[in-house]
Structure 1
Amino acid sequence: MARVALVNLASLPMPGNEPIFPIGLRCVQDALDRAGHQTRLIDFVQDPGSVDDFAWVAEPWDAIGFTIRNIDPIDISCDGHVEYYMQFLNKVRTTLDACGRSPLLVGGGPGYTLFADQLRARLGFDVGVIGPGEQAMLDILDAPENYRRLGKNITGRRYDGFLTDTLQHPGSLMEVYTQFEGAMIGVETRRKTCYQGCVYCPYAYLNGDNSGDLKPLDLIASELRAIHAAGIRRVFFTDGIFNSELRYAKEVVALITDLGLPGLTWSAYFTPKPFDDEFAALLAGSGVEFIVISPDSLDNRVMKLLGKTFDTRHVDRCLERCRRHGIPARVNVVFGGPGEDEESVRNSIQYINSNLEDGELVMHVGYRVLPQTGMARQLGMPDDDLLAPTFYPFHADTFSWIIRDLESRFMPPSVLFNFMAARNSSKRIAKVPLPADSNGHSPTEFPYLALSRNLPLV
C-alpha cells in the first residue's frame, strides 16, 4: 500500500481567495483510505505553518496529489492564482531534490481539469487527472511506475463507492472551516451533469463521463448526522442544480425534514423550472436557509443568448412561490454577457427594482471565459489564451448604466465598494483583437485582466 499526501492548493493564502471546505479532496482521500493506502491531507487553513515549513514534503511519500479548485476568483477585480501555484510547486520540487526523494506528483481538481494541458507542464506533474479523481487515483496507485514522468493527463472514471460508502469528514477539519463568517460544509447528492446549456458553464466537462449517479438517501442521512454531531449547522448541497431532477430533489428535502436535526440549515443552487407548489411546501418545512437561482440576466433576449431554458415568467413564478411559503431567495445577476447593451441592462434593473426585495440581489459584472464552454467556442480563442483571467467583451459604460438606474437599496456600502473596485479594474483591461465574425462585421476586441498577462510559458 502507498503513502500519499493530498495537498489542497485551494487553501493557499492568495489575493481574492476564499477557501471552502475541500469536499472533492476528501472524497479522494476517503477512497484511498478504504483501499488501505496511508494518507495525509495537507490543508493550509487547518495548518497555516505548512505553507512555509516544508517538513511534510520531505516525508517518504510514494505519491503527492495536488488539487486545484479555481484558477482565479472569477472576479474582474482580482488577479489569477496560477503564478502562486507555480511558485509553490517550484518550492516543493526544490525540497524534494534537496532530500533526494522523488514521489509521483499528480494534479487534479475542477480548476485543473479545465486547463489540464496548460497546467501539467507548468506545475511539473508526472500525470494529471481530468474529471472525477477517486478511481483515477486508485488506478494510478495500483501501478505508479506506469505514470512516472508520463507527461500526460488521464480521464477520471466513475467511482462505485459514491453509491455504497458514507463520507464522514474529520471533525477537526470541519471545525476549522466553520470559523469563517458564512461558512458551510458541502454535501454532494448526485453526480450528474446539469441539463441546461448555459454558454459560460463548464459543468458538463468537469463531471466527465458519469452515468448520472444519485446518492442513496441512507448515505446522505448518515453524512448529515455526522456533520450535525460535529457541531456544524450549515450545509450547502454542491450539486450543479439541486432541483434538476425534481422527484429526487423532493426526496432529499423530505429526508432532511424527517431527520429533524436541531438547528440544521441548508441551501443550494436551484433553477426556477421545475419548481412547483409541492416542492415549495417541502422546502418551507425543511430548514432551508435560502435558495439560490441564477437567471444571470433578467432580460429575456439576453437570457436566451446565455442558453437559459427559462425566462422571466419562470423567475416570477418561482419567487412568488418562495414568498408565499416564506422561503428566502438569492437571485444572481451578471451584467456584461452576450448581447448585453444599454436596453438589456435597463430591463434587468427595472425587473430588480420592481420585483426583488432587499438582500435578494447578488450582482456581478463580467463573465469569465472558461475552456470547453459555449462562450469560449463563440470567441474561438485557444485555451492557452484563456489561462489568465479573461472576460467576455462588454461595453465600457455598463457600470455607469447600472449605477444610474439601480436603486440604492441594492448597493449597501460593502457591495458598492466591491463594485467600484471592479469598475477600476475594468479600466486597466488590455484588449486583444479578434477576427471578423461570420457575418462579416468588423473585428472586435476581447478584454483580459491586464495585471495577469505575464505567465511564463515553461
Structure 2
Amino acid sequence: MRVLLLYSNQSRELVPAPPIGLSYVATATRAAGHEVRLLDLAFADDLPGELGRAIDSFVPEVVGLSIRNIDNVIQQRFDSPLQALQEQVALIRRKARTADGRPVPLVLGGPAISILAEAALPLFGADHAVVGEGEETFPALLAAIARERPPAHIPGVCYWRDGLPVRNPAQLIAGFAQSGMADWIDWRHYEHAGGTWPIQTKRGCPLSCVYCAYPLVEGRRFRQRDAGEVVDEIARVLRDVGPRTFEFVDSTFNLPARHAIAICEEILRRGLKANFTAMGINPLDVPAELFPLMKRAGFNSMMITPEAACEAMLDNLGKGFTMQHVERCCERARNSGLKSMWFFMLGGPGETMATCEESIRFAETRLTGWQFTSVFFTGIRILPGTTLARLAVERGYLAAGTDLAHGHFYLSPEIDEATVLARIHEAVTRNPSIVQAAEGGTSATQHALYRVLRLLRVAPPYWRFLPAMLGFPPLRFLRSRYPSVVAGKPLTALYET
C-alpha cells in the first residue's frame, strides 16, 4: 500500500522537535513491505499547499497523521493546534480519495493521541487511531485495512463500532532499536533552527507523578536498549548526518543511573567526539560519578525536573523523592560545571502560598549564576487518564465527564494566582535566570543571539546561554522594571486571564 505519514508540528516553545516517533513507525511500515513517504511539514511556509501537492503526487491509499502536542500546557498564554489540525484533516479528507471517490482511511497517532485515545476519533473525524507504540500495531492495522477486516483484535487500535469509538488495550513491544530518522527527514532545517538529534535509550516510566501521561504512552516498565547498540546509532548518525548535538529524549535519562553511566562509558571507550544533552534528569538517582562522567562523554547541558522544591509538594505530586535528593542534585550539578534548566510547577493539589514560597525561594537563592536556568509554570495541565484528572473530579474541581482534550488546568484553591506570578517576578529581579512560562516563547533578543551562535558553529541547545543573556544589564533592567517587555502584555493583564 502507498502510505503517507504526516508530521506537521510547528511548535517553537523551546526548540523544534524532530519526528523520532513517526520515524520509528515509518521504518517499521517500510519493512512490512509498504511504499512509505514521511511528509515533514515542521518548517513549511505554506503547510496546506505542500500537503495538498504531496497528496496529489503520491496518491496515498492510507494517510497517517502524527499529533505530538495537545497544546502548549501554559495556562496564562494557552495555545492549541487543535483548529489547525482539524483543518489539515479536512484537507486530507477532501484531497485523498480512492479511485471510486471515497476518502482513504485516516489513521491518527503520536503522543497526544495516546493520551486522548478513542476520544480523538470524533474530535478529528478519523477512521482509526493508534494508542501507544506503533511499530507493530500500525502495520497490522494496514493489513486489516487491505483485507477490509475490522481491527477488533489488534492491540492499541481505536476504531468505530456500531457508531461509537472504541479502543483495544495497548500492548508494549518487547524491544526497539534505532529510529532510522536519517532516512525520512531533511536535517538541515532542524540544524539551522538550533535543533538537537533525538536518541531514545529506553521506554517506559515506573514513577507515579500525578500529572504525567508518559506511562500512558510508553508503559510503566523500563525497556532499555543495550549501551553498545545506542552508541552504534550515535556513531552512524554522526558519520552520515553530522548533527552538532545529540539529545537523549528518554523521560528520565538517569533512571536507572547505571544505564546512563554505561552509555557514557561506552562513548568514552570508543573515543566518540560529539556533543550531548538530556531532556530528563530526575533527582532521585544522581550518584556522585554521574554528572562528571556525562561531562567527560561530551554533555554540555541537561534538563532537571524536580517540579517542586518543598517536601509537601514533592509528596503531593507523587515525585518519589525528597528535598534531600533535590539538594544533592543541585550541589552535584553545580560542581560538575554542566549547564542545567530546572522545571517547577506551582498550583498542584495541596499547594499553598507557603509551599509556593519554598519552591520559588529555592530557585531564587540556590539556582543562581551562569549554570542554571529555572522555569516556572503556574497551573498544571490536567491530562486524560492521569491521577490528577481523577483527583480533580474527586475534589470537585472538575465535573465528571469533562472533555480534557480542551485546556483545563489545576490551580490549587489555596493560592492566589496574581500573587504567585508577582512573587515569581520579584524573584526574577534578584535572579535573572528565572523565567516564567507565562512570559512568552522565544523572544526577538533570543532569536538574534541564536543566529549569532549558529554562525559561530556553536553546538546547541542554545537555551544554555540564557543566564548570560538574561543577566546582561540592559535586559535585566528591562525585565525588572517592565515585565510586559518579556511577557508580551502588562502584568496586570496576566492577573486577569
Provide TM-score, normalisation by structure 2. 0.78
Unaligned runs of 5+ in 1: 430-458
Per-residue deviation, 1:279: 2.0
Sort the Cα spacing of 1:171 and 1:3 in 2 relative to 1 into closer, same or farther, 3 A: closer
Give the equivalent residue in structure 2 for 1:302: 313
Give the equivalent residue in structure 2 for 1:167: 180
Would you say the 8 A contact 2:307–2:344 is kept in 1?
yes
Give the equivalent residue in structure 1 for 2:423: 401
Would you say the 8 A contact 1:3–1:63 is kept in 2?
yes
Per-residue deviation, 1:327: 2.6
Instruction: Find runs of 4+ consecutive structure 1 residues off by over 4 angstroms.
Output: 14-18, 46-50, 413-429
Per-residue deviation, 1:68: 0.6
Give the SS at the match of 1:294: strand
Give the equivalent residue in structure 2 for 1:372: 385
Q: In 2, distance between residues paired with 1:281 and 1:427?
A: 42
Give the equivalent residue in structure 2 for 1:42: 39
1:25 correspondence with 2:25? no
Give the equivalent residue in structure 2 for 1:69: 68
Give the equivalent residue in structure 2 for 1:140: 141
Sort the Cα spacing of 1:387 and 1:341 in 2 relative to 1 into closer, same or farther, 3 A: same
Would you say the 8 A contact 1:127–1:153 is kept in 2?
no
Q: In 2, distance between residues paired with 1:298 and 1:172?
A: 40
Unaligned runs of 5+ in 2: 152-158, 435-469
Per-residue deviation, 1:346: 1.9
Give the equivalent residue in structure 1 for 2:86: 86
Alignment of 1:288-327 (within 5 A): 288-327=299-338
The sequence identity of aligned pairs, in percent, is 24
Q: In 1, distance between residues paired with 2:432 and 2:300?
A: 22
Per-residue deviation, 1:425: 6.8
Per-residue deviation, 1:48: 4.3
Q: In 1, distance between residues paired with 2:260 and 2:12?
A: 36
1:255 correspondence with 2:266? yes
Give the equivalent residue in structure 2 for 1:342: 353
Q: In 1, distance between residues paired with 2:359 and 2:187?
A: 39
Sort the Cα spacing of 1:123 and 1:19 in 2 relative to 1 into closer, same or farther, 3 A: farther
Per-residue deviation, 1:255: 1.8
Q: In 2, distance between residues paired with 1:422 and 1:73?
A: 21
Give the SS at the match of 1:57: helix
Q: 1:185 aligns with which of 197, 215, 223?
A: 197
Would you say the 8 A contact 2:59–2:96 is kept in 1?
no
Give the SS at the match of 1:178: helix
- 1:380-404 Cα offsets, whole Å, 9 max, x none, are 1446432211111242321122223
Per-residue deviation, 1:27: 0.4
Deviates more, 1:196-205 or 1:38-47: 38-47
Sort the Cα spacing of 1:24 and 1:180 in 2 relative to 1 into closer, same or farther, 3 A: same
Give the equivalent residue in structure 1 for 2:3: 4
Give the equivalent residue in structure 1 for 2:107: 106
Sort the Cα spacing of 1:268 and 1:259 in 2 relative to 1 into closer, same or farther, 3 A: farther
Would you say the 8 A contact 2:20–2:179 is kept in 1?
no
Provide TM-score, normalisation by structure 1. 0.84
**Between Structure 1 and Structure 2, how many residues are aligned?**
422
Would you say the 8 A contact 1:185–1:234 is kept in 2?
yes
Q: In 1, distance between residues paired with 2:338 and 2:359?
A: 23
Q: 2:172 aligns with which of 150, 155, 158?
A: 158
Give the equivalent residue in structure 2 for 1:266: 277
